[in-house]
Amino acid sequence: MSYLILVRHGQSVWNLEKKFTGWVDVDLTENGKLEAKKAGELIKTKNINIDIYYSSIQLRAKNTLKLIKQILEDSKVSKEAWQLNERHYGALTGLNKDEMKKKLGEEKVHQFRRSWDLRPEPLDKNNPYHPINIDTYKKIPINKIPNTESLKDTYKRVLEFYKQEIENKISNNNILISAHGNSIRALCKYLFKLDENQISKLEIPTGNPLIIKLDEENKITNCKYLDKERAKDLVVF
């Protein structure tokens, strides 16, 4: 028996401002920090020894994990991977979601946010929000940096990393991953065997640990959000 714990980062500055964030490397709000600390406290009540920690290379996920580990009083070195980054929202990056609903219509914005294989228009490479212009991503091979992504694209890079680096470790380790709404949705699609319609309905709350219990064959035997008041529908459970 082992545990896989998935945590979407706490509320970020651009979450609060209702902006499409994607690969822009914004940090947590004060409320986001409180969410991360509460996540740590909830995990601590389970008395689970975390063997391996992972996060994306984005500040909001890294700092969420840092705060969780402080609460757990765990000094293990975390593993960081750009493949766990949030989905790239292309030309929508930095735009306000409510304003885009007025401009494009609520249905179109919903499609951009939740559809499986629809990509927004690419983000211009001269835009300061493009990853090639952000120091955080300087070490990523240029041919791996996207201009825009669909959830399908995000799923592909997340799952490639998960299968290569994480899946074979689960049976012998308790693992915690601090990542993002769409990278966690990608993992959930794989873990829960969701179809393209089901994944469009899956909403991941910020700073609320999703704890997944697995048997010796890595089959899920139970899963739940630790903060019941902020839990979302898991579609399959």
State the catalytic residues: 9, 86
In 106-130, which positions are buried (b, 16+ CB within 10 angstroms) versus exposed (e)? eeebeebbbeeeebbeebeeeeebb
Q: Are the C-beta atoms of residues 175 and 51 closer than 8 Å to each other? A: yes
Helices (H), 162-200: 181-191, 196-200
Residue 142 has a CB neighbour count (10 Å cut-off) of: 9
Query: How much of the chain is helix, strand and coil, in % rounded to 5?
Result: 45, 15, 40
